[in-house]
């Protein structure tokens, strides 16, 4: 596939990349491309599918740039588009607007079947539970790759490399609000039951951190949990969260770390 990186860079140039939130998103995308490429290669996929996985990763969050510029937030709950995945839908608009021809700016020789794979994978990359009933085998594989690559970066790079302050700022919270926050009972119960947490029930800064850690329950590919374990990412994430003033929150986070580590140990 003839991927036009220059066209993508030109499209990206219309946004304020000096903005902290958007520069973080650029780094996130670069990391996700790397993870997607690695996963596809580990699975011994064809060169065409490796390139397709990289293309999907490159464009999966295009809608985030539109979202931040228009609404000033990455919180999908604050963006009403008549859809459960506003930023994913915006990404689809970027690629498939103008009678589905926009994608040709970035991949002029992409085949119709590949374009359908791109659309399905990007649109579903934020699904808590991936419904494979109406997907082809190739569509399903690429949905799994982008979802795992996205979650791997969110755990290993974003949640460990970016400052806690910046991560909370993006969600609209201050550090003072984080350290004073409680854990919503429904969020904690969902976490304890080894289930991904629906953003719709997230209310507090502490909730957001448990929601992010709960990505481990939603990996599709066994290689992904091994990466999380090798990086000691659960231990490192919880080590960053040691200043809660609420006793209940401290207790819940200690329990959550043990639950997460035991889950990974039992799965790999």
Q: How far apart are the first and last CA of the chain?
A: 35
Query: Each residue of 204-244: pLDDT tens digit?
Result: 999 999 999 999 998 988 888 888 998 899 999 999 999 99
pLDDT of residue 85: 61
Q: How far apart are CA 170 and CA 173, in angstroms?
A: 8
Sequence-separated (6 or more) residues with CB below 8 Å from residue 220: 130, 143, 144, 147, 148
Burial string for 238-254 (b: 16+ CB within 10 Å, else e) reads beebeebebeebbebbe
**Nearest C-alpha neighbor of 59 from the set 22, 32, 86:** 32
pLDDT of residue 89: 83
Judge whether residue 77 has pLDDT over 70. no
| % of the chain residues with pLDDT over 70 | 94
In the chain, where the domains are located:
5-154, 167-267
Q: Calculate mean pLDDT across residues 54-63.
A: 94
The class (CATH top level) of 5-154 is mainly alpha
Query: Each residue of 146-197: pLDDT tens digit?
Result: 999 998 998 888 899 889 998 999 899 999 999 999 999 999 999 999 998 9
pLDDT of residue 231: 87
Integer CA distances (angstroms), 158 to 136, 161, 167, in order: 31, 5, 8
- Maximum Cα–Cα distance across the chain: 58
Q: Calculate mean pLDDT across residues 62-71.
A: 85
Q: Calculate mean pLDDT across residues 134-146.
A: 95
Q: How far apart are CA 108 and CA 1, in angstroms?
A: 8
Query: Each residue of 104-126: pLDDT tens digit?
Result: 999 999 999 999 999 999 998 88
Judge whether residue 83 has pLDDT over 70. no
């Amino acid at each position: 596939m003839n991927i036009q990186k220059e066209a993508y860079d030109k499209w990206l140039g219309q946004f304020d990349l000096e903005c902290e939130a958007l520069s973080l998103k650029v780094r996130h995308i670069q990391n996700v491309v790397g993870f997607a490429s690695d996963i596809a290669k580990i699975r011994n996929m064809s060169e065409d599918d490796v390139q397709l996985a990289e293309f999907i990763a490159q464009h999966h969050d295009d809608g985030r740039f539109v979202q931040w510029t228009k609404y000033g937030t990455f919180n999908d709950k604050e963006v009403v588009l008549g859809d459960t995945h506003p930023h994913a839908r915006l990404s689809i608009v970027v690629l498939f607007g103008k009678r589905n021809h926009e994608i040709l700016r970035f991949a002029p020789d992409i085949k119709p079947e590949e374009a359908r794979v791109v659309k399905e994978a990007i649109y579903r990359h934020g699904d808590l539970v991936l419904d494979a009933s109406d997907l082809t085998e190739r569509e399903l594989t690429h949905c799994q790759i982008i979802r795992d690559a996205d979650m791997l970066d969110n755990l290993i790079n974003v949640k460990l490399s970016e400052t806690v302050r910046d991560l909370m700022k993006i969600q609209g919270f201050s550090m003072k609000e984080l350290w004073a926050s409680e854990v919503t009972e429904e969020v904690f119960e969902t976490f304890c039951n080894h289930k991904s947490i629906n953003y719709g029930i997230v209310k507090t800064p502490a909730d957001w951190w448990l929601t992010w850690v709960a990505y481990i329950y939603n990996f599709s590919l066994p290689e992904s949990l091994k990466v999380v374990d090798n990086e000691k990412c659960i231990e490192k994430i919880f080590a960053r969260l040691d200043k809660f003033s609420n006793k209940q929150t401290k207790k819940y986070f200690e329990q959550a770390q043990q639950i997460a580590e035991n889950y990974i140990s039992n799965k790999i």
